[in-house]
Amino acid sequence: MEQRRIGSLGVSLAGLGTNNFGRRMDAAETRRVVAAALDAGVTHFDTADIYGEGRSEEYLGRALGQRRDEVTIASKFGMGDLRGGASHAEWVPGHVEGSLKRLGTDRLDLLYYHRPDPRTPVLETLRVMNDLVGRGLVREIGCSNFTAAQLEEAAGAAREHGLRGFSVVENEYSLLARAPEQDGVLAAASELGMAFVPFFPLASGLLSGAYRRGRPTPHVSRLGDGRPAEQVVSSAHLGAVERLAEYAEARGHTLLELALSYPAAHAPVATVIAGATSATQVRANAAATGAWALTDEELEEVVALVG
């Protein structure tokens, strides 16, 4: 498994998103998926305090057990929640300590500010996160759902006040959601020396290969309920999926390989955190990520196919 960097951290190119843990998956299912991920070389796990109302962290910690030191764990705080207007300085440390307790660990390798709150100056958030690093509870800090302008503001505040800045930004990014290319976030991250982590790289399953014309959608998927794909997926998205699948198959690859290799081909992407609800899925995702070293010409061609 290829290794890339988020600040001081080494992370596997294929990561595992855990938002299904504790929600669509129980502890036993989580254990099987985590074991399969570890066996496939996945060493980066992405969770959050709100996933499964905390059960994602709890189940992940139990599943990792004594192998915790072999992996990097990222968690998040601040999904638009100011706890009645209380400042980050008052409640973030307690939330981080809650995450550590649920995970059964003494530190988070990476802590994300989940969503920026316009009522809270980013400088205040950075100071609190820097304090957590100083206390040894967190190794690297990052942000999620930030715009390019917000990244630049945060970097400027960190420089001006002598603070550690964000080492990574995590935003939605896939062949069907290419906003980071278009809104300057990828470019800003590169210029600021930050890594980028895409979430929903399979567009909630649309790019997994399970959604094709004339086929029933899988009951176990986020979007599927057994009806024909044409009744569940918009015609525009289904058309794009069909074109991308045909393009990949004509070149000896799968749609899954194309979908997960596409973000991996862009600087400064460090790890691609696809979710999985079965050991089979996580093994397939791990094998597909980076399996196709797309050329610049191929990247242009697949973008044209999306339309």
Distant-in-sequence, close-in-space partners of 66: CB < 8 Å, separation ≥ 6? none
**How many of the other CB atoms lie within 10 Å of CB of 39?**
12
What whole-number distance in Å separates Cα of residue 289 and Cα of residue 292? 8
**Beta strand 14-17 pairing with 9-12:** unpaired
* Cα 282 to Cα 14, 38, 98, 145, 173, distances in angstroms: 9, 10, 28, 25, 19
* Cα 173 to Cα 118, 245, 271, 307, distances in angstroms: 23, 18, 12, 16
Catalytic pick from 51, 112, 113, 173?
51
Active-site annotation holds for 51: yes
Q: Indicate which residues carry an active-site annotation.
A: 51
